[in-house]
């Protein structure tokens, strides 16, 4: 039985135009891998420690699919768009 997996991204946007270009290009790639956004940079309240201004949580069917999406040539091409527009920490987390 597979368990869902999540990308948890902590993001500091440094260039909103470049970051929007990344989001536009990444959306169809993520859709092809069945990704579902659970959080997309909404209001957040750090309760302990430090946080970047935006958090994005994306759900995948399983860790294998999440890894395949990240490794895909199409998604890797979107990273080139994101790099000048944001600083990102991205973690893969398996669910229960």
Q: What is the pLDDT of residues 79-91, one digit of tens each?
A: 999 999 999 999 9
**Which residue in this structure is represented by tokens 């970047």?**
52
CA distances from residue 4 to 36, 53, 55, 90 in whole angstroms, order as listed: 11, 26, 19, 17
Banded pLDDT at 5 (limits 50, 70, 90)? very high
- The count of C-alpha atoms lying within 13 angstroms of the C-alpha of 42, restricted to the half-sphere facing its C-beta, is 5
Q: Do 82 and 38 contact (CB within 8 A), yes or no?
A: no
Instruction: Select from 10, 69, 17, 15 the least CA-distant residue to 40.
Output: 10
CA distances from 69 to 36, 72, 90 (A): 13, 5, 13
**pTM: predicted TM-score of the whole model, two decimal places:** 0.93
What pLDDT does residue 42 have? 87
Question: For residue 6, how many C-alpha atoms fall within 13 Å in the half-sphere facing its CB?
Answer: 15
Tens-place pLDDT, residues 19-77: 999 999 999 999 999 999 999 988 999 999 999 999 999 999 999 999 999 999 999 99
**Domain positions in the chain:** 1-5+30-43+73-96
């Amino acid at each position: 039985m597979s368990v869902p997996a999540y990308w948890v991204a902590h993001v500091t946007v440094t260039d909103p135009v470049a970051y929007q270009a990344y989001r536009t290009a990444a959306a169809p790639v993520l859709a092809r891998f069945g990704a579902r956004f659970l959080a997309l940079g909404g209001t957040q309240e750090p309760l302990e420690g430090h946080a970047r201004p935006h958090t994005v949580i994306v759900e995948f069917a399983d860790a294998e699919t999440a890894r395949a999406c990240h490794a895909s040539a199409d998604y890797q091409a979107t990273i080139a768009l994101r790099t000048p527009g944001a600083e990102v920490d991205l973690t893969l987390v398996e669910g229960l």
